[in-house]
Amino acid sequence: MKSPHSFHALFLLALFGAIPAHAEWHLTVHAGDFDRQDVIVTFDAPEGVRGNYTLKAADGPHIALQIDSAGHAVFIEPRLAKGAEKTYSLTTTSDLPPAITASKEGDVLKVAGQPGDVPIFHYQTTPGPVPEGVPAYFSHGAHLHPIFSPSGRIVTGNHPPDHRWHRGVWLAWTDTDFEGRHPDFWNEGKEKGGALTGEVRFASLDRTWSGPVQGGFVSRHRFIDHTGGAEKDVLGETWEVAATRVPGAFIIDLASTQTTAGEIPLKLPKYFYGGLGVRGPGGWNPVDQVTMLTSNGDDRLKGDNSKAKWVHMGGAVEGQPTGLAVLIHPANFRFPQPLRLNPKNPQLCIAPSQGGDWEIAPGKPYISRYRLVIADGAPDAANLDRLWDDYATPPRVEMKNE
């Protein structure tokens, strides 16, 4: 028979959730309906579980687990068969070296893989330099460029001769209606003398981080209407961008949240481009030097104005094939989203306005998520399908303290 003191101790444990000193956290990852290989696993960690940990299964290597102060957790699961699960124990560690670093140099945030300071991408905050002979009004910020492949080849372009306003990877709207005016946020500087009708302006770099699994940043942008004389804010935008390094590829996750600056909606008429833009490097400018491939198996011409769950653009850089793919999250508006695959330039756009008139309304944030996969070599459709499955339906995680 238990003593009254034992019953009292059990009561306190039940009441306050006290954990015995010998208990430890365990994490179980469930593969779900797909075979998994080098898959990014994210989840929200329980209260009080923060910082860097080492994961250890019954067999296999130690794995880094990164948990930020808000409880957002991430690790890379090396391999897990369809329907299988794996349980890890957690060990707190303070000496895990960073795998991804984010460091600001002037007006550029540089994100790199470690060791070796291998460049992954740069984020241009305020407007940056333009090539010699290009008017200064084409100087832009609030975009990613350059983006590098694992071999160090650059897969994006900026200020190309045919469209000086193209800028690496960016988000902007083209045909719009705001208070009866029509600011164009895409073609910045295109008007005579560089006059702006609309502008996407960097506002702030709110947070950066480096870590043993991911590094990245959170920033804010302003969509500004110039058509009414004085500047007027139309939208506020937050970018959350995280970079991960997996065997054979760099992965960049970009989440954009756009909200109206006031009580007036931004109306977006049906139009064939505007949204997420990607411009390829100069070596891909000749029509026969770039290829595009969609998740439907369509090429550049057939894929234009189609809908897809991913799209790849690639070509030779320094004599070797390389490229990047955009994976489209299934929660995005009008998924599978419409595509603009430019028939003359190495430029693509995820363009939801192709589907008809719509608007970004007060109190209804517009959230769009994309995963960029940058890899050397020719595109592998089966592998991109696998990576999209990982992105759209990631493994599930449970944590227990026992």
Given a cut of 70, is residue 10 above it in pLDDT? no
pLDDT of residue 4: 43
Q: Supply the pLDDT for residue 3.
A: 45
Average pLDDT estimate for 22-38:
93
What value, to the nearest 5°, has the Cα angle with vertex 346 and ends 332 and 358? 30
Closest CA to 149 of 316, 25, 337, 5: 316
**126: which 2 tokens?**
């305020």
* Residue 192: per-residue pLDDT: 84
Q: Compute the average pLDDT of residues 362-371.
A: 98
pLDDT in tens, 137-186: 999 999 999 999 999 999 999 999 999 999 999 999 999 999 999 999 99
Q: Would you tell me how many other CB atoms lie within 10 Å of the CB of residue 137?
A: 18
Tell me the β-bridge partners of 189.
none
Contacts of 268 by beta carbon, 8 Å cutoff, 6+ apart:
173, 175, 176, 177, 274, 353, 357, 358, 359, 360
* pLDDT reading at 274 higher than 60: yes
CB 183 within 8 A of CB 197: yes
d(CA 232, CA 238): 18
Q: What is the pLDDT of residue 207?
A: 98
Instruction: Centre a 10 Å sphere on the Cβ of residue 60 and count the other Cβ atoms it contains.
Output: 12
Torsion over CA: 44, 311, 325, 140 (sign): negative
What own/partner pairs with CB < 8 Å and gap ≥ 24 does 110-114 have? 111/215, 111/216, 111/217, 111/243, 113/243, 113/245, 113/250
pLDDT band at 18 (very low <50, low <70, confident <90, very high): very low
Specify which residues 375 forms β-bridges with.
Answer: 323
pLDDT, mean over the chain? 94
| Cα distance between residue 235 and residue 277, in whole Å | 18
DSSP 8-state symbol, 284: G
Show the tokens assigned to 272. 């064939």
As given in the structure block, the two tokens for residue 368 are 């769009």
Residues belonging to the chain = 402
What pLDDT score was predicted for residue 94?
81
Q: Flag whether pLDDT at 19 surpasses 80.
A: no
Considering only CA atoms, which of 90, 86, 152 is closest in space to residue 121? 152
List, in sequence order, every beta strand (DSSP E) within 45-114: 51-56, 63-67, 72-80, 85-92, 100-105, 108-113
Region 28-54: mean pLDDT is: 97
- Single out the residue of 343, 100, 119, 299 nearest to residue 209, CA to CA: 100
- Range 325-352 average pLDDT: 98
Give the residue-averaged pLDDT of 256-262. Answer: 98
Stretch (H or E) spanning 12: helix 4-16
- Per-residue pLDDT of 106-149, as tens digits, reads 999 999 999 999 999 999 999 999 999 999 999 999 999 999 99
| E strands present in 213-319 | 214-225, 232-246, 249-260, 266-268, 275-279, 291-294, 307-308, 310-317
Of 171, 363, 148, 335, the C-alpha closest to 264 is: 363
pLDDT (mean) for 183-207: 95
Residue 329 DSSP label: P
CA 310 – CA 304 distance, rounded (Å): 13
Say how far apart CA 89 and CA 252 lie, in whole Å: 28
| Angle of CA points 93, 95, 100, to nearest 5° | 105
Query: What is the pLDDT at residue 61?
Result: 86
Task: For residues 353-361, give the mean pLDDT.
Answer: 98
Contact 238, 369 (CB under 8 A): no
Mean pLDDT value across residues 65-83? 97
